[in-house]
Structure formats: structure tokens, C-alpha cells
């Protein structure tokens, strides 16, 4: 048995037909998939016979495929001795590594998508068609990896607290099994702004959203006008987190923030990322108002004022010194929920 990316030893004896120990000839160790074929094989080690014995250190490279091989020990011909062969079978195996990716913090009762991968340790190549199990709480899921060694699954945790999720690949003929445990903190969901959302959805919804939007626009515009008297106003671009940290509203990950200003900005950013996933022409070079102009034509008309309110709330939280309150944060959260709900019921074509 040999493992990809590691060394292994091959030893044996070389005797004459009369039983005398041979000394001096070179021995090469060759691995072939089929000793009866015409393939050349791969030389994995070279040594010499001493007192009828050889012990050769060989390399199973990381590029070698797992599987069954014939291990040919070829003693080369010398002036004194003829060549000889020995060809026992050998199995090349690979160690594996499994990994879970997903949020470390989730809300109780919220179904979240997790992803797993299984790869070869030596080569980093994916292990396709591997049988894996995921265990959490009292559930056990059986999955099979795709061509890229990936699996995905949903999990929900009903109660808050600390939980563990374990992804395991069992050992097979050619692969050594592996396992990993993923710790998850289950949090109590924040208060659901049901009353605010109901108010926005109810009569006269458009008046309420319009008033909140106009108030925000008025405050922001007044501050901006004062600044423009002193210097030329250049509206900043939307500021999104780095690529690997982009989270959309639909991902369901808990929102962490240290101030209500930060909370409003992160709510807007998540909505922005969600819209990027739907409309590829929305990129990161846009200003908030360019984003609004691009998106508004694709929303149902009853969502236009809500979008105006959301963009204004972001501008105030991001660029002004006006304090953002808990009620402002709740209203922004409800506004995002409202826009997404209206899009589901009446989104225009891109």
C-alpha cells in the first residue's frame, strides 16, 4: 500500500538459481497499471542489491491516480548476473480532507444553506462521487459529492445555544476517511417589525412611505445644500464589503452592528448585493442614486416610494451626522422586506 504524496519502501531478495546471495546489481522499482500491457510505467525508486537484499525508498507522487497497480522490481543485467523481475500488486490510496462552509451564527428556526467539500490532501484535487454524511441535532443526512467534490444542504436549529455540525467521509478502498466538526452559535432572532411592515402594507401605505421618504430626503437635501455652498458636491459610490464578505438579504445570516447607522448601512448593502444577483448590470461603481435609477424601472410602481425611502436612509446613515435611531433601523428593515415582497408579487422583467 502507498499513499499519494508520500514515500514508501520496497524490499526484497535477489538470489541465484543455486540460492547464493547476489550483490551489486541496480534495482529499479516501476509502477504499472497492468503488467501485461505495453505501457512503460513510472519509475518510482532506484537502489542496489547488497548481500542478496534490497530496500528502496520510493515516491508516490501527488499526481499519481489512486487505484491498483503492479509493482515491478527490475534487477538490471550485469556482467555477472542476468536481469530478473518481481511484480507484486500494490494499491495507491489518498488521504482526504473535508470542509464545511457557512455562517457561524444563525437565527433559531431559520433554514440556512451550508456547503461542504472533499479533496485529496496531497494534490488538493476534488474527490467526486464520494458518499458523505452530515450530522447535527438528531439528524443524519447522506450526500454524494459532485464532479467538483462539493455538496450542499439546508439546516435549521429550533433553539438558541451552541451546536455542532459534523461532516464525514467514510473510508473506501482507495480513500482514507476524514471528518470535521463545525461549531454554530444559534441566536434568538431580533424582534420582527411586523407592526411596521403591516403599517407599510396597509392603507394608506403609499402616503406613509412617501412621508417617511420625503422627510428623509428633505433633511438630507438641506444638509447637502449647505455643503454645496462651500464646495462642489460629488456623490460617493456605494461602499460594499470585499468580495468574499458579500452577503445578500436572502442568505439569512444574522446582522451584526455596533450602531444603528452601521445597521442601516448593512441592510442597504445586503439589499444591493441581492439586486446584483438578479440584475448583473448593477455593479459596484454606482452611486446610491444611480442604483435607484437603474432599479426603479424594474420594480412594480407600488415599490418606488419604498426604494426612495431606503436609498435616503442609507445616505443619511452613511454620509451625514444625523443620528439614526432604533425606530429608523426598524423602519429600514421593514422597507427592505416590503420591497422584496412586492418584487415577488409583481416584479417587472429585466
pLDDT digits (tens, 9 = 90+) for 199-225: 444 434 444 444 444 444 444 444 444
Q: Give the domain ranges of the chain.
A: 2-87, 95-187, 194-346
| 95-187 placed in CATH 2.60.40.10 | yes
What's the mean pLDDT in 118-134? 96
User: pLDDT band for position 112 (50/70/90)?
Assistant: confident
Residue 92 banded pLDDT, cuts 50, 70, 90: very high
Instruction: Give the pLDDT score at 305.
Output: 84
- pLDDT for 234-282, tens place per residue? 456 666 666 546 788 888 888 889 999 999 999 999 999 999 989 888 8
Q: Are 100 and 165 in contact (CB under 8 A)?
A: yes
Angular region, 82: left φ>0, alpha ψ -120 to 50, beta rest: beta
Beta strands 2-3; 89-101: pairing state: parallel
Asked whether the beta carbons of 173 and 91 are under 8 A apart, the reply is yes
- The pLDDT-based confidence of 15 (bands split at 50, 70, 90) is very high
Domains 2-87 and 95-187 share a fold: yes
Given a cut of 90, is residue 173 above it in pLDDT? yes
pLDDT tens digit sequence for 74-87:
999 998 889 888 88
Residue 231 pLDDT > 50: no
Reply yes or no on whether the pLDDT at 177 is more than 90.
yes
Span 67-72, average pLDDT: 92
What lies within 8 Å, CB to CB, of 216 at 6+ separation is 309, 312, 313, 316
pLDDT at residue 346 in the model:
67
Q: Look up the CATH number of domain 2-87.
A: 2.60.40.1930
pTM of the predicted model over 0.75: no
290: cell is: 444611480
Handedness of CA 254, 259, 264, 266 (dihedral sign): negative
pLDDT at res. 190? 61
Q: State the pairing for strand pair 84-86/67-75.
A: antiparallel
Q: In the 8-state DSSP scheme, what is residue 159?
A: S
Amino acid at each position: 500500500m502507498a499513499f499519494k504524496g508520500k514515500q514508501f519502501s520496497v524490499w526484497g531478495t535477489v538470489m541465484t538459481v543455486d540460492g547464493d546471495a547476489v550483490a551489486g546489481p541496480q534495482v529499479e522499482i516501476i509502477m504499472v497499471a497492468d503488467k501485461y500491457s505495453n505501457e512503460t510505467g513510472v519509475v518510482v525508486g532506484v537502489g542496489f542489491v547488497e548481500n542478496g537484499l534490497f530496500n528502496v525508498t520510493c515516491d508516490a507522487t501527488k499526481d499519481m491516480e489512486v487505484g491498483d497497480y503492479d509493482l515491478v522490481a527490475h534487477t538490471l543485467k550485469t556482467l555477472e548476473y542476468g536481469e530478473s523481475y518481481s511484480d507484486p500488486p500494490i494499491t495507491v490510496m489518498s488521504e482526504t480532507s473535508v470542509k464545511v462552509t457557512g455562517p457561524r451564527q444563525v437565527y433559531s428556526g431559520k433554514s440556512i444553506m451550508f456547503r461542504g467539500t472533499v479533496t485529496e490532501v496531497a494534490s488538493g484535487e476534488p474527490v467526486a462521487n464520494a458518499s458523505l454524511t452530515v450530522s447535527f441535532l438528531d439528524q443524519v443526512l447522506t450526500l454524494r459529492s459532485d464532479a467538483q467534490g462539493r455538496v450542499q444542504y439546508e439546516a435549521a436549529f429550533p433553539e438558541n445555544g451552541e451546536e455542532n455540525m459534523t461532516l464525514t467521509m467514510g473510508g473506501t478502498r482507495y480513500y482514507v476517511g476524514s471528518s470535521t466538526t463545525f461549531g454554530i452559535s444559534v441566536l434568538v432572532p431580533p424582534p420582527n417589525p411586523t407592526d411596521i411592515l403591516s403599517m407599510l402594507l396597509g392603507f394608506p401605505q403609499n402616503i406613509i412611505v412617501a412621508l417617511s421618504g420625503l422627510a428623509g430626503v428633505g433633511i438630507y437635501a438641506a444638509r447637502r445644500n449647505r455643503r454645496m455652498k462651500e464646495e462642489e458636491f460629488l456623490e460617493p459610490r456605494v461602499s460594499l464589503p470585499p468580495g468574499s464578505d458579500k452577503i445578500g438579504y436572502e442568505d439569512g445570516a444574522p446582522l451584526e452592528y455596533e450602531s444603528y447607522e452601521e445597521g442601516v448601512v448593512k441592510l442597504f448593502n445586503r439589499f444591493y448585493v441581492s439586486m446584483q444577483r438578479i440584475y448583473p448590470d448593477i455593479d459596484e461603481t454606482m452611486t446610491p442614486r444611480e442604483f435607484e435609477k437603474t432599479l426603479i424601472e424594474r420594480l412594480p410602481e407600488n415599490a418606488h416610494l419604498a426604494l426612495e425611502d431606503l436609498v435616503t436612509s442609507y445616505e443619511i446613515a452613511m454620509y451625514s451626522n444625523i443620528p439614526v435611531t432604533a425606530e429608523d433601523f426598524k423602519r429600514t428593515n421593514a422597507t427592505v422586506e416590503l420591497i422584496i415582497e412586492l418584487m415577488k408579487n409583481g416584479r417587472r422583467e429585466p
